[in-house]
Amino acid sequence: MIPIFFLATLCLGVVPAAPTHDPSLDDEWQEWKTRHGKTYSMDEEGQKRAVWENNRKMIELHNEDYTKGKHGFHLEMNAFGDLTNIEFRQLMTGFQSMGTKEMNVFQEPLLGDVPKSVDWRNLSYVTPVKDQGQCSSCWAFSAVGSLEGQIFRKTGQLISLSEQNLVDCSWSYGNIGCFGGLMEYAFRYVKENRGLDTRVSYPYEARNGPCRYDPKNSAANVTDFVKIPISEDALMKAVATVGPISVGVDSHHHSFRFYKGGMYYEPHCSSSNLDHAVLVVGYGEESDGNKYWMVKNSWGQGWGMNGYIKMARDRNNNCGIATYAIYPTV
């Protein structure tokens, strides 16, 4: 199985052999490096500066269009500004091509209408936003987020679970640690391992390591996992009745990487080529009638809306948010 992030993608910012820099941006460049703790060798500095300037220009142009009403969301320079798109996807995504093993399929509830809006953060189902660092372990964060919600639903205790436990220990189930993985493989590992350690006992390291699972520190188990049909309506019903749901999305556009706020709709998104795993924690509708998914990312609280993104809902499965949706049972 070939992880999607290894596939070739378009890359903004192909740097010439001798890049020229805008001297008026010198202070801003130095301030950005300081803020994000960036240091480079003499050989790296020029190339990284050129990529940063290209990304900065793209953000500036997008935000100019945003002020003219051409976009429903705005962008912001962040810690990813010195990365090309290929570098970014290799470091910060990691959703593998979808699994093939059979699993249970979500049965839509035989109930009346589900609520018009749901936000599981308000009901203590969701731990604070985490940061996967430069490790393609989004799949572990997404899986842990969904499992944390189900453990809370069962026990009334919100416990932060160990992504590192999954990164280190689930290789034989199909995951490849910081090189990528899939949520169903993570759930299968927890089910057959009969446990997953807490984050406190098995802290995150953003790198591959030996398996150090200790059953004495386990705080979660999985009895099975459920796949949701490819339907935004089915996903909405699952979020409303089950809790936070693990999903895959197409995140390879610069607009996603530098998202800051607003309703994210990317017309060039793919609904089938997914490369990043996130967690749907709710949904709603704005006063102008635009519907959205509230999505928790794993790129730290400095990204997006304190680590979250509001993604367009009922816009023809934009970015594939309903293409691969799954949750564990506990």
- Which amino acid is residue 266, in one-letter code? E
CB atoms within 10 A of CB 36: 14
Query: Which residues pair with residue 197 across a beta bridge?
Result: 218
Check residue 293 and give its pLDDT: 98
Is 138 among the catalytic positions? yes
CA–CA separation, 171 vs 135, rounded Å? 15
> Kind and range of the H or E element at 104?
strand 104-105
Pair 95, 275: CB distance under 8 Å: yes
Catalytic residue (choose from 55, 71, 135, 138) = 138
- Selecting among 71, 252, 253, 276, the annotated active-site residue is 276
Return the pLDDT at 8: 30
pLDDT of residue 55: 93
Q: What are the residues whose beta carbons fall under 8 Å from the beta carbon of 62, sequence distance 6 or more?
A: 71, 74, 75, 255, 258
One digit per residue, pLDDT tens: the chain, 330 residues? 434 333 233 223 333 444 578 888 989 999 999 999 999 998 898 899 999 999 999 999 999 999 999 999 999 999 999 998 888 877 766 676 655 555 566 666 655 678 999 999 999 999 999 999 999 999 999 999 999 999 999 999 999 999 999 999 999 999 999 999 999 999 999 999 999 999 999 999 999 999 999 999 999 999 999 999 999 999 999 999 999 999 999 999 999 999 999 999 999 999 999 999 999 999 999 999 999 999 999 999 999 999 999 999 999 999 999 999 999 999
Given this model, what pLDDT does residue 77 score?
A: 95
Helix (H, G, I), strand (E, B) or coil at 122: helix
Question: Distances in Å between the alpha carbon of 40 and those of 31, 134, 208, 214?
Answer: 14, 16, 24, 39
293 bridge partner residues: 283, 311
**Is 319 assigned a catalytic role?**
no
Model pTM above 0.75: yes
Known catalytic residue at 297: yes
Structural contact between residues 241 and 329, judged by C-beta atoms closer than 8 angstroms? no
Q: Catalytic pick from 55, 85, 165, 297? A: 297
Q: Are 146 and 154 in contact (CB under 8 A)?
A: no
pLDDT score recorded for residue 92:
67
